[in-house]
Structure 1
Amino acid sequence: MLLKIENLRVNYGNVEALHGVNLEVNEGEIVTILGANGAGKSTTLNAISGLVNITGGSIFFRDTALHKLPAHEIVKHKITQSPEGRRVFTTLTVQENLILGAFTSTNTERIQKSLKWIYELFPRLQERRKQMAGTLSGGEQQMLAIGRALMANPKILLLDEPSLGLAPILVKSIFATVKEINKSGVTVILVEQNAKAALKLAHRGYVMEVGNIVLADSAANLLINEQVQQAYLGGGH
């Protein structure tokens, strides 16, 4: 097992956002976390990344206790996140944004290799490499956010709402690329509002409701689960 979360609790002030979440990810999988807004999906990703303080429980990456490490150390363990809302550095070029994603590496050859791979995954970014990130379209910024997260050569890529605000044709393209990334050996944890697209892509899924995991199953089973269909897939059969 690559990642194991046990009894994870996170508070925002006096409010408990996660009430003892348990989640497992095996090497090579795409695992999706579904749920309504405010269910705790992003909080779970942010806890794995070390971006929020956890108040209880544990997160293990193989034998490493991630819950005891600061965020920059977690990146060194090859766990990177493409955040919700993209958050690219708008006043830097595409290439400068990507290079920043490799801040933990001093190996120039490795960085160039990663850059080459990202430009192969996203040819549009190569065309726009000298352009300011702020001038890119939403879809291009999403590609850039994913590319930047890939620059650290991750073992686990955390994707938070990659399809948010994108046209359907772009969503299709981003998801096809996520499949390619996974085929190259990167394990993916995907938080996504577009439940149908996420389940078609993933191996397994978890459903969250107000800080709890309420369902865990194979993606194929969740796609035909009546409860999931009614809540997230727009009705039953």
Structure 2
Amino acid sequence: MFLELKDLRAGYGQVEVLHGVSLHVNKGEIVSILGANGAGKTTTMHTISGLATIMSGSIRLADEEISKLPSHEIVTRGLTQSPEGRRVFNSLTVLENLKLGAFTIENKKLINESLDWIYGLFPRLYERRSQMAGTLSGGEQQMLAIGRALMGQPEILLLDEPSLGLAPLLVKAIFETVKKVNENGVTILIVEQNAKAALKIATRGYVMEMGRIVMEDSAENLLANPSVQKAYLGH
């Protein structure tokens, strides 16, 4: 297992949000976490990235325990996150935002290779590279947030609500790109309100309710599951 959460209890300060979460992601997979608002999906992502308080349990990445590591150390282990709500630096250019994502890389050649790859994935970012990030559309900002996370050359990418607030056509484009990123060898854990779109590209999925995992199955089976369809797929 590449990433493994075992009996994880975590939250913010004294407030426990995750009540014994166990899940795993194998190398090369796309794994999706489904659940209603407030189910604990984003807290799961924050906990993996070192941004929430762990009360008990473990997080292992490539056989190393990372639950005690600060977030900047976790990034150097090959794990990056594209946060919910995009959170780009509005007063910096597209290129400056992207370069911030490479803060752990000292080799200029590698940084330029990453830039070329990201511009290939998102040609719009290349066109807008000198533009202030705050002037981009929502879809372009989402591309930038994903691009910035990829600049660190991660082995595993955490994507939190990549399609939030985007037009259907852009959602399709974002998910096609996520699939391409995965085909380039990046393992992906995705949290997404658009359950159907996420499951269509995923290998497996987990369903969360009230800070607990209540179901785990192949993406195909979850798409066909009547209770999942009713709760999350709008059937």
TM-score when normalising by structure 1: 0.98
Q: Give the match's secondary structure for 1:68.
A: coil
User: Following the alignment from structure 2 to structure 1, what is the Cα–Cα distance between the partners of residues 20 and 74?
Assistant: 21
- Residues 140-179 of structure 1 aligned to structure 2 (within 5 Å): 140-179=140-179
Q: For residue 200 of structure 1, report the CA deviation from its aligned partner.
A: 0.4
Q: Give the match's secondary structure for 1:67.
A: coil
Tell me whether 1:38 sits opposite 2:38 in the alignment. yes
Q: For residue 14 of structure 1, report the CA deviation from its aligned partner.
A: 4.3
User: Following the alignment from structure 1 to structure 2, what is the Cα–Cα distance between the partners of residues 11 and 100?
Assistant: 27
User: Following the alignment from structure 2 to structure 1, what is the Cα–Cα distance between the partners of residues 7 and 63?
Assistant: 17
Tell me whether 1:90 sits opposite 2:90 in the alignment. yes
User: Following the alignment from structure 1 to structure 2, what is the Cα–Cα distance between the partners of residues 52 and 66?
Assistant: 13
Can you list the C-alpha shifts for 1:177-217, whole angstroms capped at 9, x where unaligned?
Answer: 00000000000000000000011010000000000000000
Q: For residue 234 of structure 1, report the CA deviation from its aligned partner.
A: 1.2
Paired letter, 2:74: I
Paired letter, 1:143: M
Can you list the C-alpha shifts for 1:134-166, whole angstroms capped at 9, x where unaligned?
Answer: 000000000000000000000000000000000
Tell me whether 1:135 sits opposite 2:135 in the alignment. yes
* Gapped regions of structure 2 (runs ≥ 5): none
Q: For residue 63 of structure 1, report the CA deviation from its aligned partner.
A: 1.7
User: Following the alignment from structure 1 to structure 2, what is the Cα–Cα distance between the partners of residues 121 and 226?
Assistant: 35
Tell me whether 1:223 sits opposite 2:223 in the alignment. yes
Q: Which range moves more in the overlay, 173-182 or 5-14?
A: 5-14
Q: For residue 11 of structure 1, report the CA deviation from its aligned partner.
A: 2.9
User: Following the alignment from structure 1 to structure 2, what is the Cα–Cα distance between the partners of residues 78 and 125?
Assistant: 23
Aligned residues with identical type, % of pairs: 69
User: Following the alignment from structure 2 to structure 1, what is the Cα–Cα distance between the partners of residues 41 and 229?
Assistant: 19
User: Following the alignment from structure 1 to structure 2, what is the Cα–Cα distance between the partners of residues 93 and 16?
Assistant: 38
Q: For residue 64 of structure 1, report the CA deviation from its aligned partner.
A: 1.1
- Residues 103-142 of structure 1 aligned to structure 2 (within 5 Å): 103-142=103-142
TM-score when normalising by structure 2: 0.99
Q: Which range moves more in the overlay, 60-69 or 140-149?
A: 60-69
Tell me whether 1:70 sits opposite 2:70 in the alignment. yes
User: Following the alignment from structure 2 to structure 1, what is the Cα–Cα distance between the partners of residues 192 and 4?
Assistant: 20
Maintained 8 Å contact 2:13/2:53: no
Paired letter, 1:192: E
Q: For residue 12 of structure 1, report the CA deviation from its aligned partner.
A: 3.0
Q: For residue 53 of structure 1, report the CA deviation from its aligned partner.
A: 1.4
Q: For residue 16 of structure 1, report the CA deviation from its aligned partner.
A: 1.8
Aligned match of 1:193: 193
Aligned match of 1:22: 22
Q: Give the match's secondary structure for 1:215.
A: strand
Aligned CA RMSD, in angstroms, stands at 0.7
* Gapped regions of structure 1 (runs ≥ 5): none
User: Following the alignment from structure 1 to structure 2, what is the Cα–Cα distance between the partners of residues 188 and 19?
Assistant: 23
User: Following the alignment from structure 1 to structure 2, what is the Cα–Cα distance between the partners of residues 51 and 116?
Assistant: 30
Q: For residue 15 of structure 1, report the CA deviation from its aligned partner.
A: 3.1
User: Following the alignment from structure 1 to structure 2, what is the Cα–Cα distance between the partners of residues 13 and 135?
Assistant: 35
